[in-house]
Structure 1
């Protein structure tokens, strides 16, 4: 596994944890949506680099 793929997957998981945390804290849905889109993009880019 390359370093860039590993970093993108780690960033995606980190952002996914942020989405879960913000959802529990009842933060605005727009912020959660942007964070979720970023998490999905990081995870998909990391998986495509594998």
Structure 2
């Protein structure tokens, strides 16, 4: 995979996890939402820095 493809995949995974944050928070699972939010931020940051 090229560098840009990996970056796009990481950003996509981060956005997927952001949707999980919304879902978990809506269900009242705040600790799970916080853990998922950390993963989402790390994935998006890695994707942007990789680009």
TM-score, normalisation: structure 2: 0.87
Pick one of 4, 9, 19 that aligns with 2:21.
19
Question: Structure 2 unaligned runs (5+)?
Answer: none
Tell me the residue number matched to 1:42: 43
Q: RMSD value over aligned CA atoms? A: 1.2
Question: Structure 1 unaligned runs (5+)?
Answer: none
Counterparts of 2:28 and 2:7 in 1: how far apart (Å)? Answer: 31
Count of matched residue pairs = 49
User: Which whole-Å deviations, capped at 9, do the CAs of 1:14-46 have from their partners, x for residues lacking one?
Assistant: 00000011111112x221111000000000000
TM-score, normalisation: structure 1: 0.88
1 or 2 for the larger relative contact order (CA 8 Å, sep ≥6)? 1
